[in-house]
């Protein structure tokens, strides 16, 4: 199989094809210390190893055995997509195996991949729900059946397994299923019996990757067919299913957030592989519409619990933010593909914000519990609904899409951090480790995001040929300084274009660059059309969004506090707290609200004054790891 | 059947039993002109007459014929409670028949009541969904089956039919079903086979009324049993089904709003009929929790689309306010019963607010279209979901609970306006017409709510015996004046206690009272814990909440407007607009929001300035009767 990067470590989730029209090509960052290393170790040591047991007790593996005829009993699970929990775990474990042979994990992967293979039907079809519960009916309920969605996750798992282990057992299963799908689905006149799409996009981006892995062009064509058949009413025309309007004509993101985002990841893939500029332009347009009007400050996406969908422009509620963990993951996947396609730094700005906030909040510090929805507020007196939509961390969900999805992103995170092109190496995200792309290798040491210094050392460089080391200056960054050889630049004179600080020279091994990003804490306001946060401010520091939690404010709730924005913010690193976090303390008051009788609406002047109170803020990603209680990202100023 | 008011016009939806411990007894207000007369005429001339055709085309009547074996075909409709659309229409039509014989309407009632009777099974059971679709299974899915809920609406229709026409056909059907239910449901040890409750309360208040109509104590006992079995986990313990906590222990309203409110109406009924002070205290406590923390300014109830439930305290969103029309109706029913039980004016304060705003917004001005949900904001760029949860008025719903519910409230409205006790007559709501209760009759003339003058003339009075005419001074009212004989009082010296202006004298026919309620428009703020409306104000005048609509603000949207609260409000009556409304004009500006690039969160100072704009506000109840567009109740001040 062709690859221009055959000398590099095994590629990650996105491996560009030989004809790809990408501005940038993925590079790898071997993370070996610091913030994300810690999170990945928790993933490797706790979350991933617990997967097989959870999949067993939830019934997912049992269903595969039933389908294979090697067990007896009833189908277990409430959804037609329960197989994907297995596939996403297999994908996550496969990425993990790339980091070194782990015998126990490898044995689980072999065993579970074997269960998957055994459950496949002779013609390639595989979906335990339909095989076992629907009497073998196929493709009769494309709106809700998730059969192609499941196939997509199987394909992604198989590609990961093949890429990291070189093994073909799972890839053969995926290819057989993909060939089956290709024999069934196609446009009128293609000779295929069904002109249809899946209500939940996912197969599309998976098929592009299968094309990239196998070189088989049919899969790319099938992906393009599926993407373009969305929006033509084949499923009834609902936005929920991404069927109201074709992507090429859409003006904003809409419907079920995860469905929209997976579809857009495929659009970016297709634009990259085929040079389809119209599709690329549509993806850029929709990304802009999303970030300007439908994205929470955490990078979280999805405004409605009901139907899990995007809301209207600027409809960004706090306590009812949906912000599904899977939507954050899908957003990273899409934005990363946009970064590769266009080379623009803003896509990685959103990736950074999402990783550190909207995504990571979904994973508990101990790696054992999860949030499906990621609200920006939990009220005093909150009555928790329990279940999947709980604001309390949960061991596993009835619809367990998020946990293994988070595992696969964490296990493959080194592939979302850097790129290369003919002119050099681009560092998108700052970690301690070794960035390697093309013929360039750079070593980084940093205490980011707690500290703003990133020390970079060139390790490998083509001899005597100048190239450009590009460093992303984050969108949130107001002040920075960079020392490169004899020169020191700051935000006033540094060679920054569209978010990229570009340092060009004939680098030699041992050359050093010191980037210092200013991490002064800041108070952030929203566009005034975001009604939900009017006259409120959020605390941020570096890439981190902060929140206040009940646990740090004993003796009262959080719904009566008021921030005083005129007072300075104080920063304190607390190694003892929440695995080690930098806290930000703001001044405020706890207002005294007089008893207004039975009706809380009045023409009387608002109550002023109140007790002074220190508002201690912790990073949002770390919330809900102590006692249950209220929480706020946005702090009222009146 | 016993009644202490046998000389009065036929009683309304609440007829107290002979032993009732009510502070007040329902009186009647014959509405013959003015605001509500117009709304009731639309109901009588358009909404009600269209009912039979809509019930026919939606399949409800067809289902009854199928169950009776007089038609062939498939069951139609998506829910197990479609029969209630028929029952609520029958109830509404029955109240209408009390206002004078209408041959066409009476013929429809006879015909449709006949269809209901024919569909009943020999043992009394009646539910077309279970008879036709579920192969006659009964009471196996109490959580979702709605069988007792349907029975409740049948009983209420039958009681209304009997009260207003004296006819017994429908009452016999209801009694037979109630007796059947009484033979099936009961506590352990009662000899009944099922210890259970319905997931959707409604049977409870209906059974109390059946007791009142028939004098049969078993129905009251059964109602008490059902009320008290909620909250013990019989349906799995969900708040949604009112099964998480017993009412007697509950500290706030929760779960599905309509279910909660119907259950609380029954609690008030039971406290009234049995003297159960613990239950009465629980109802008072929950009413206070609801109004102080979970009620929109319109009186609307229900914060979540998802599960149609109450939110957390102070969680009162605008664009996603659910505020189901049925919840407003249920709130009126409950509050009215609380007013009877306690005699307190605040309950009728909420009834007034709800009638003029949260309820009436659900009915179009022409009586032909409806809102199921009643949001307080529709954004610029709103993508309407269509269907039942649309912010656009709809001819009929898949779940058509609201339209016939609104019809029955409008058709019986004269029964929610006044009461009497041994000491006199209490006027709760101001209409043009004749208030008659006990041995007291008072005539009223008013242009309320557009005008604040209410001219009252005593028409009948017990000779020579002093009694008290009590006039509710609305909670919203800051200034009033009342002339009674030679005396004139104002808010400084009038004999007002707890919202009641009490005028005691030996009234003689022809005695006059002139009450003048100040109707200066006002700007209203919410408790600061209602985050959704921080730094925003609502325009109100008298009992009316106002909103701004896109239709009155061409040339721009509503999401960039800012109210200037320092400028005076101007009032203008517009007989040409929306059937005749008083408008309120406020001063504001349309802010200029600079392009912030792709990320809408910033540390930069907020943009100031903007174009001056006149904000023309119309009563909220009249919104969405012109072109589709954006709307706001709460106006930002920054």
Active site residues of B: 308, 401
What does the alpha-carbon distance between residue A308 and residue B306 come to, in Å, rounded to a whole number? 10
Cross-chain CB nearest to B312 (options A288, A383, A600): A383
Please tell me whether residues B539 and B501 are part of one structural domain: no
What does the alpha-carbon distance between residue A502 and residue A490 come to, in Å, rounded to a whole number? 13
Cross-chain CB nearest to B606 (options A288, A528, A591): A528
Nearest CA among A384, A341, A318 for reference residue A538: A318
CB count within 10 Å of CB A628 equals 15
CA atoms within 13 A on the CB side of A551: 12
Domain boundary among B461, B482, B517: B517
What does the alpha-carbon distance between residue B325 and residue B258 come to, in Å, rounded to a whole number? 9
What does the alpha-carbon distance between residue B568 and residue B573 come to, in Å, rounded to a whole number? 17
Please tell me whether residues A562 and A592 are part of one structural domain: yes
Judging by DSSP bridges, how do beta strands B536-541 and B522-526 pair with one another?
antiparallel
Please tell me whether residues A505 and A540 are part of one structural domain: no
Write the CA distances from B186 to A133, B181, B190, B218, integer angstroms: 38, 9, 6, 11
Cβ burial A354-365 (10 Å sphere, 16+ → b, else e)? bbbbbbbbbbbb
Using the predicted structure, report yes or no on whether residue A2 has a pLDDT greater than 80.
no
- The separation between CA B214 and the C-alpha centre of its own chain, rounded to angstroms, equals 26
What does the alpha-carbon distance between residue B323 and residue B631 come to, in Å, rounded to a whole number? 16
Is the separation of the CB atoms in B333 and B261 below 8 Å?
yes
DSSP character at residue A29: E
Whether residue B526 and residue A601 make contact (CB cut-off 8 A), yes or no, is yes
Residue B33 is assigned to a structural domain of this protein: no
CB count within 10 Å of CB B172 equals 14
Active site residues of A: 308, 401
What does the alpha-carbon distance between residue B604 and residue A523 come to, in Å, rounded to a whole number? 9
Residue B209 sits at φ, ψ, to 5 deg, of -70, -35
Whether residue B312 and residue A607 make contact (CB cut-off 8 A), yes or no, is no
Whether residue B313 and residue A599 make contact (CB cut-off 8 A), yes or no, is no
**Residues of B in Cβ contact (< 8 Å) with A307:** 385
Which band of pLDDT confidence, cut at 50, 70 and 90, is reported for residue A10?
A: confident
Residue B475 is assigned to a structural domain of this protein: yes
Using the predicted structure, report yes or no on whether residue A6 has a pLDDT greater than 70.
no
What does the alpha-carbon distance between residue A12 and residue B391 come to, in Å, rounded to a whole number? 45
Torsion, Cα A445 A448 A452 A455, to 10 degrees, reads 10
CATH number at residue A471: 2.60.40.1180
- Helix A217-229 vs helix A169-184: crossing angle, to nearest 10: 50
Whether residue B528 and residue A318 make contact (CB cut-off 8 A), yes or no, is no
Distance from CA of B384 to the nearest CA of A (A): 9
Whether residue A601 and residue B524 make contact (CB cut-off 8 A), yes or no, is yes
Please tell me whether residues B614 and B528 are part of one structural domain: yes
Cross-chain CB nearest to B535 (options A287, A599, A638): A638
Count how many domains chain B has.
2
- The separation between CA B100 and the C-alpha centre of its own chain, rounded to angstroms, equals 24
**Residues of A in Cβ contact (< 8 Å) with B292:** 596, 598-600
3-state SS string for B569-617:
CEEEEECCCCCCEEEEEEEEEECCCCCCCCCCEECCCCCCCCEEEEEEE
pLDDT of residue A555: 85
**Residues of A in Cβ contact (< 8 Å) with B317:** 317, 320, 532
Whether residue B527 and residue A317 make contact (CB cut-off 8 A), yes or no, is no
Judging by DSSP bridges, how do beta strands B424-427 and B467-472 pair with one another?
parallel
Cross-chain CB nearest to A523 (options B532, B535, B603): B603
Write the CA distances from A73 to A84, A398, B71, integer angstroms: 21, 19, 43
Whether residue B638 and residue A380 make contact (CB cut-off 8 A), yes or no, is no
Write the CA distances from A21 to A16, A373, A436, B53, B566, integer angstroms: 9, 36, 21, 61, 58
For A308, nearest residue in chain B (alpha carbons) = B306
**Residues of A in Cβ contact (< 8 Å) with B559:** 313-314, 529, 531
Under 8 Å CB pairs connecting chains A and B tally to 177
For B522, nearest residue in chain A (alpha carbons) = A603
Please tell me whether residues A600 and A529 are part of one structural domain: yes
In chain A, pLDDT over 70 holds for what percent of residues? 99
Distance from CA of A575 to the nearest CA of B (A): 28
Q: Which domain holds residue B479?
A: 419-448+452-517
Domain boundary among A460, A483, A517: A517
Q: Using one digit for the tens of pLDDT, what is the confidence trace for A457-478? A: 999 999 889 999 999 999 999 9
Residue A547 is assigned to a structural domain of this protein: yes
Q: Which residues of chain B register pLDDT less than 50?
A: 1-8
What does the alpha-carbon distance between residue A483 and residue A481 come to, in Å, rounded to a whole number? 7
Cis peptide before B449 (omega within 30 of 0): yes
Whether residue B603 and residue A478 make contact (CB cut-off 8 A), yes or no, is yes
Residue B223 is assigned to a structural domain of this protein: no
Cross-chain CB nearest to B598 (options A315, A346, A600): A346
Nearest CA among B422, B424, B415, B416 for reference residue B500: B424
- Between the two ends of chain A, the Cα-to-Cα distance in Å is 62
Whether residue A593 and residue B527 make contact (CB cut-off 8 A), yes or no, is yes
- Between the two ends of chain B, the Cα-to-Cα distance in Å is 62
Domain boundary among A490, A517, A544: A517
Question: Bridge partners of B562?
Answer: B589
Residue A49 is assigned to a structural domain of this protein: no
Please tell me whether residues B487 and B562 are part of one structural domain: no
For B299, nearest residue in chain A (alpha carbons) = A599
Instruction: List helix spans (H) across B166-202.
Output: 169-184
Mutate to test the interface with B, among A257, A287, A290, A315 (most CBs of B within 10 A): A315
Whether residue B602 and residue A523 make contact (CB cut-off 8 A), yes or no, is no
For A312, nearest residue in chain B (alpha carbons) = B382
* Mean pLDDT, residues A358-362 taken together: 98
Residue A424 is assigned to a structural domain of this protein: yes
Cross-chain CB nearest to B600 (options A315, A318, A526): A526
pLDDT of residue A596: 83
Distance from CA of A361 to the nearest CA of B (A): 20
Which tokens go with A418? Answer: 């850097």
What does the alpha-carbon distance between residue B279 and residue B341 come to, in Å, rounded to a whole number? 12
Nearest CA among B257, B179, B171, B270 for reference residue B229: B270
**Residues of A in Cβ contact (< 8 Å) with B293:** 381, 600
- Helix A257-274 vs helix A277-293: crossing angle, to nearest 10: 150
3-state secondary structure of B631: strand
Question: Bridge partners of B611?
Answer: B590
Residue A142 is assigned to a structural domain of this protein: no
DSSP character at residue B319: T
Which tokens go with B581? Answer: 């409304």
Whether residue B381 and residue A313 make contact (CB cut-off 8 A), yes or no, is yes
Please tell me whether residues B474 and B549 are part of one structural domain: no
Burial class (CB in 10 A: 0-12, 13-18, 19+), A586: buried
What does the alpha-carbon distance between residue A610 and residue A589 come to, in Å, rounded to a whole number? 6
Is the separation of the CB atoms in B80 and B145 below 8 Å?
yes
DSSP character at residue B450: T
Please tell me whether residues A531 and A577 are part of one structural domain: yes
Whether residue A311 and residue B319 make contact (CB cut-off 8 A), yes or no, is yes
ipTM rounded to 2 decimals: 0.95
Please tell me whether residues B592 and B632 are part of one structural domain: yes
Is the separation of the CB atoms in A356 and A337 below 8 Å?
no
Please tell me whether residues A504 and A528 are part of one structural domain: no
Distance from CA of A385 to the nearest CA of B (A): 9
Mutate to test the interface with A, among B559, B565, B584 (most CBs of A within 10 A): B559
Is the separation of the CB atoms in A441 and A459 below 8 Å?
yes
pLDDT of residue A9: 61
Query: What sign does the dihedral B180-B185-B186-B192 (CA atoms) show?
Result: positive
Q: Which of A79-83, A101-105, A404-408, B257-261 has the lowest mean pLDDT?
A: A101-105
Distance from CA of B540 to the nearest CA of A (A): 10
Using the predicted structure, report yes or no on whether residue A199 has a pLDDT greater than 60.
yes
Residue B277 is assigned to a structural domain of this protein: no
Residues contacting B373, CB < 8 A, separation 6+: B305, B321, B322, B323, B324, B325, B388, B389, B390, B391
What does the alpha-carbon distance between residue A34 and residue A455 come to, in Å, rounded to a whole number? 13
Distance from CA of B185 to the nearest CA of A (A): 29
Q: In degrees, to the nearest 5, what angle opens at C-alpha A317 toward C-alphas A311 and A323?
A: 70
Is the separation of the CB atoms in A272 and A220 below 8 Å?
no
Burial class (CB in 10 A: 0-12, 13-18, 19+), B556: middle
Distance from CA of B476 to the nearest CA of A (A): 9
Given strand A453-460, what is the order of strands in its sheet? A28-33, A432-437, A440-446, A453-460, A512-517, A480-484, A487-490
Please tell me whether residues A528 and A632 are part of one structural domain: yes
Please tell me whether residues B562 and B491 are part of one structural domain: no
Question: Bridge partners of B589?
Answer: B562, B612
Whether residue B603 and residue A524 make contact (CB cut-off 8 A), yes or no, is yes
Cross-chain CB nearest to B291 (options A522, A536, A598): A598
Helix (H) or strand (E) holding A38: helix A35-42
């Amino acid at each position: 199989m062709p690859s221009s990067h055959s000398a590099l470590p095994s590629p990650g989730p996105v491996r560009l094809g030989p004809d790809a029209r990408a501005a940038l090509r993925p590079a790898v960052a071997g993370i070996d210390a610091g913030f994300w290393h810690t999170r990945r170790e928790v993933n490797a040591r706790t979350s991933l190893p617990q997967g097989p047991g959870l999949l067993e007790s939830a019934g997912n593996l049992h269903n595969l055995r039933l389908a294979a005829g090697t067990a007896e009993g009833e189908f277990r699970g409430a959804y037609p997509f329960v197989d994907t929990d297995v596939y996403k775990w297999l994908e996550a474990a496969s990425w993990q195996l790339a980091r070194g042979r782990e015998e126990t994990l490898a044995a689980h992967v072999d065993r579970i991949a074997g269960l998957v293979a055994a459950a496949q039907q002779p013609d390639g079809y595989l979906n335990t729900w339909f095989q076992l519960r629907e009497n073998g009916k196929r493709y009769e309920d494309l709106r809700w059946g998730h059969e192609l969605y499941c196939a997509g996750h199987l394909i992604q798992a198989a590609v990961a397994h093949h890429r990291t282990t070189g093994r073909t057992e799972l890839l053969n299963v995926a290819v057989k299923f993909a060939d089956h799908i290709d024999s069934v689905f196609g446009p009128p006149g293609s000779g295929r019996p069904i002109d249809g799409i899946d209500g939940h996009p996912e197969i599309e981006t998976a098929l592009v990757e299968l094309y990239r892995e196998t070189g088989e062009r049919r899969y790319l064509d099938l992906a393009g067919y599926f993407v373009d058949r969305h929006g033509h009413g084949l499923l009834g025309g609902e936005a929920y299913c991404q069927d109201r309007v074709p992507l090429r004509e859409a003006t904003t993101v809409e419907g079920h957030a995860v469905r929209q985002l997976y579809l857009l990841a495929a659009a970016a893939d297709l634009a990259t592989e085929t040079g389809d500029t119209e599709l690329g332009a549509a993806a850029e347009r929709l990304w802009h519409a999303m970030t300007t009007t439908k994205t929470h400050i955490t990078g979280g996406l999805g405004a409605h619990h009901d139907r899990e969908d995007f809301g209207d422009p600027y409809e960004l509620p706090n306590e009812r933010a949906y912000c599904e963990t899977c939507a954050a993951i899908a957003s990273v996947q899409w934005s990363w593909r946009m970064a590769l396609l266009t080379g623009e730094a803003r896509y990685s700005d959103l990736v950074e914000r999402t990783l550190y906030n909207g995504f990571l909040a979904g994973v508990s510090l101990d790696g054992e519990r999860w949030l499906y929805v990621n609200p920006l507020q939990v009220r005093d007196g909150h009555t928790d609904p329990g279940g999947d939509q709980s604001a309390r961390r949960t061991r596993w969900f009835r619809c367990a899409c998020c946990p293994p999805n988070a595992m696969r992103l964490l296990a493959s995170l080194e592939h979302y951090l850097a790129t290369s092109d003919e002119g050099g190496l681009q560092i998108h995200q700052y970690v301690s480790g070794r960035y390697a792309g093309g013929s360039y290798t750079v070593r980084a040491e940093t205490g980011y995001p707690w500290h703003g210094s990133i020390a970079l050392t060139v390790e490998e460089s083509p001899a005597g040929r100048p190239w450009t080391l590009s460093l992303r200056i984050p969108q949130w960054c107001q002040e920075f300084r960079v020392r490169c050889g004899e020169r020191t630049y700051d935000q006033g004179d540094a060679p920054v274009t569209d978010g990229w600080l570009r340092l060009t020279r004939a680098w030699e091994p041992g050359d050093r660059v010191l980037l210092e990003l200013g991490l002064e804490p800041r108070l952030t306001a929203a566009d005034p059309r975001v009604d939900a946060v009017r006259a409120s401010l959020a605390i941020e520091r570096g890439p981190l969004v902060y929140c206040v939690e009940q646990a740090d404010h004993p003796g009262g709730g959080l719904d009566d506090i008021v921030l005083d924005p005129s007072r300075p913010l104080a920063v304190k690193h607390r190694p003892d707290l929440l695995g080690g976090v930098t806290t930000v303390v703001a001044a405020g008051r706890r207002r005294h609200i007089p008893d207004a009788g039975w009706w809380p609406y009045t023409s009387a002047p608002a109550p002023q004054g109140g007790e002074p109170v220190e508002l201690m803020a912790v990073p949002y990603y770390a919330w809900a790891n102590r006692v249950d209680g209220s929480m706020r990202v946005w702090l009222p100023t009146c």
